[in-house]
Structure 1
Amino acid sequence: MAIDFDGGRCVSAEIAAGITPAAALFHSLSDETRLRIVQRLARGEARVVDLTAELGLAQSTVSKHLACLRDCGLVDYRAQGRQSFYSLTRPELMDLLTSAEQLLAATGHAVTLCPVQNPRRASDVEAEADGGPDVIRGQAVS
């Protein structure tokens, strides 16, 4: 799900009109930066400046991703003076992410080889059939 940098939202109104709530939830979590922010906020609330320092990201990047997570109802903030402290609104989100990690461990991270998400060349598939390493786009996958 791309961030609309003009509006700061995760999806446009046109896209939102045709997407199921479950798909919207998983789209909101499909970005690695947003996942890193969620994982950090699971340890406690943080300001944008804290997140930029800890995650090594630009302030504008953190702010845009926080806006997306806020639009999805996963993150909110409280104001204290001139500062905003962000936190997770739904602690059960971490249960979902823990379950996802367990699923990935149980499947041997096979989702990284999903042909829909990561189309492989025929030569890659042939190399795997010959007992060669798993390869996606010319890179070995462990």
Structure 2
Amino acid sequence: MTMNITDDGSTATTSCGAPSAAVALFRSLGDPARLAILRRLAEGEARVTDLVSCVGLAQSTVSAHLACLRDCGLITSRPQGRATMHALARPELMDLLASAEQLLAATGEAVDLCPTYGTHPQEPTR
């Protein structure tokens, strides 16, 4: 996932005026596996195999999520022997997630029941 930067270095905007970089950031955070990976990396560096056991996904899937997070500048990777160690690039990301948790504590049910993005209660079957 890449962020849209114009030729002059400014951030591009969407048709509604939202900064494209903000849209890309929140899309990168919009996957449960990527959030789980970020939470694990907040505890310290980890190898792909550590993350596979943490999120319970295939190694190739975890690697794809790591590539997305790396492309967004949210994590870094460095070789260590035959492995690659991954870490948070921006610790303030955890502040953003903590703020999101506070917002969800205040609006959680409304967000969860949102007909566009939340979960939908099951209709009773007849």
Q: Normalising to structure 2: TM-score of the pair?
A: 0.79
The number of residue pairs the alignment matches comes to: 112
Displacement, 1:114?
1.9
Aligned to 2:28: 28
**Alpha-carbon distance, 1:137 to partner:** 4.5
Render the CA deviation track for 1:9-48: whole Å, top value 9, x for unaligned.
x36x9xxx87511111101000111000001100000000
Per mean C-alpha deviation after superposition, the further-off stretch among 61-70 and 77-86 is: 77-86
Cα distance between partner residues in 2 of 1:65 and 1:139 = 33
SS in 2 for 1:45: coil
What CA distance in whole angstroms lies between the structure 1 residues aligned with 2:50 and 2:99?
27
Matched, 1:84 2:68: no
Provide the rounded CA distance (Å) in 2 between the counterparts of 1:136 and 1:98: 25
Deviates further, 87-96 or 72-81: 72-81
The separation in 1 between residues aligned to 2:108 and 2:55, in whole angstroms, is 27
Instruction: Give the Cα separation in 1 of the matches to 2:84 and 2:56.
Output: 19
User: TM-score by structure 1 length?
Assistant: 0.70
Q: 1:126 maps to which residue?
A: none
Q: Provide the rounded CA distance (Å) in 2 between the counterparts of 1:109 and 1:70.
A: 32
Matched residues in 1 for 2:62 and 2:74: separation? Answer: 15
Q: Paired residue for 2:42?
A: 42
**Amino-acid identity (%):** 60
**Letter of the aligned partner of 1:86 in structure 2?**
H
Matched, 1:111 2:111: yes
Letter in structure 1 aligned against 2:48: V
Q: Secondary structure of 1:109's match? A: helix
Runs (4+) of structure 1 moved beyond 6 Å? none
Structure 1 position 100 matched with structure 2 position 100: yes
User: Unaligned 5+ residue runs, structure 2?
Assistant: 5-11, 15-19
Q: Say if 1:139 and 1:108 are closer, same or farther in 2 by CA, change over 3 A.
A: farther
